[in-house]
Amino acid sequence: MAAPYAAMVMDARNGEVIHTSNADTRLHPASLTKMMTLYIVFEAVQNGEISMDTKVQISKKAASEPPSKLGLRAGSTIQLRYLVRAAAVKSANDAATALAEAISGSEAAFARRMNRTAKALGMGRTTFKNAHGLTESGHMSTARDMTILGRHVLYDYPQYYNLFSRRSTDAGIKTVAHTNRRFLDSYRGADGIKTGYTRAAGFNLTATAERGGERIIVTVFGGNSTASRNAQVAKLMDLGFNKAPARMALRTPRKPPYLGPDTSTATETVIANSQTPSTQTRAKSIRVVAAAVKTSLRPTARPVAQPILPDVLVAELKNDIQSVLAEVQTEEVQEVAATAAQVALATAAPATAPASLAPSLKTAPSASVKPVGRPRTLVLASATTRQVAPAEPVQAREAEVVTRISTSGGRHWGINVGRFPSRYAAEKALLKTALAEMATLDGSLRKVVNGARGFDANFMGLSRESADLACRRLQARQVTCFMIGPS
């Protein structure tokens, strides 16, 4: 009897669903499971839990996994990077189990971490029981959830994504070939991700392809053979490219917060491994004590910041923007009022010595003073020239020269990091840039300006030097940036 069929087609650029068929039906994912195994390995490496150079000792359990396998021997050691390559390219079950044990100590503990991560990614109908995907009761997922996972693998850890397009790779003890090389070679633009097969699951595949800036993700469950599955995926890929718009603003998925290893599980594992026949009676008491120590003997770790809900984020950004606008408008009114006061003094007493203007610059203008137009005969000079020519009769002069403190050295500069189709996109870009470049943008103000062609994302309140430095650093990160002068 053929395995149940399910499929989903998604525009990878923004996550829009183009086509579904039984996409929420819980089915056996087979080796599509290894996408989650590898996702957690990438997360652990990035957060310093383990290194790609770490040498992993192979357990009897890992070595005894059925094919497809790399052929690891119990007791041998191999670098983590080779296990990653074997799991991604050859879909080796022994490599996947070895990765799980290296990260969490046991495959059962790793499966619990897989489920926590799946929940954080929004995979609401997925339950993992192992790291390789071999058929096991309760080990289920859906075409929708696997498509979501594939998109996160692509965008959350792009530095490792090239693994999934390698036709072959060095796995340490041998060179292995890609299980998906037929589709990679036959479909233009295809570059991943993962195949899967068991008798209960049928022939599964989550694949991506990119053409001319468009990227489509397709997941198929329940194919009858490799050839028929690949043909169906190619058909759905064509459907996706035909329906997806040529131009689409990239909206990458929100990367979930780092949850880290399950420390309580690690404690219980250590206790269980330390038991001997003579101490089995006392083991339960030790577990109870360990649970108590976990919360009372030492201070708890600083909590990880939880993700901000989109509505809250928008509200916070709007408040920031309103405060920035209010400050800028207040500064403009004060500057115009100060200029008006100087003009009044210059017009009323043209023969007064220039030194008499100094006190007026320090006097705060009244809040009731209304802005006035700048007279055509008024010439503003930089404060770098403090000297003013001796007083002359009013009739003999064509223009009155008034000194004003220069703003070139103040925090009146800004930078622009792009123009976006919506205010929300501009605000999101400002937050992302501020977090990436805190050293140079600290103390600056985020400001979104609505123009005729879109929403400009600006950082204001910088000195010229800090604006120039910030731009150069952002451009080095391939971020568009140009300076905004005090005008």
Q: Is 318 a catalytic residue?
A: no
Residue 36 and residue 167 in one domain: yes
Given phi > 0 = left and psi -120 to 50 = alpha, else beta, which region is 6? beta
The C-alpha atoms of residue 114 and residue 108 are separated, in whole angstroms, by: 10
Kindly state whether residue 373 falls inside one of the protein's structural domains: yes
Kindly state whether residue 291 falls inside one of the protein's structural domains: yes
Catalytic pick among 34, 90, 194, 447: 34
Kindly state whether residue 314 falls inside one of the protein's structural domains: yes
Q: What is the CATH number of the domain that holds 117?
A: 3.40.710.10
Span 310-360, pLDDT tens digits: 555 555 556 656 665 565 455 555 655 555 555 455 555 444 444 443 444
The C-alpha atoms of residue 416 and residue 444 are separated, in whole angstroms, by: 12
Span 262-319, pLDDT tens digits: 765 444 444 344 443 333 333 333 332 333 334 444 555 555 444 444 555 555 556 6
Residue 291 and residue 315 in one domain: no
The parts of the chain modelled with pLDDT lower than 50 are 265-297, 304-309, 328, 343, 349-372, 374-409
Expressed as residue numbers, the domain containing 287 is 263-296
Q: Is 228 a catalytic residue?
A: no
Residue 101 and residue 171 in one domain: yes
Catalytic pick among 59, 68, 69, 91: 91
Predicted local distance difference test score (pLDDT) of residue 393? 46
Cα-based distances in Å from 293 to 195, 281, 287, 298, 303: 45, 20, 10, 8, 18
* φ/ψ (deg, to 5) at 411: -95, 60
Residue 139 and residue 51 in one domain: yes
Q: Is 51 a catalytic residue?
A: no
Predicted local distance difference test score (pLDDT) of residue 307? 45
The C-alpha atoms of residue 320 and residue 391 are separated, in whole angstroms, by: 48
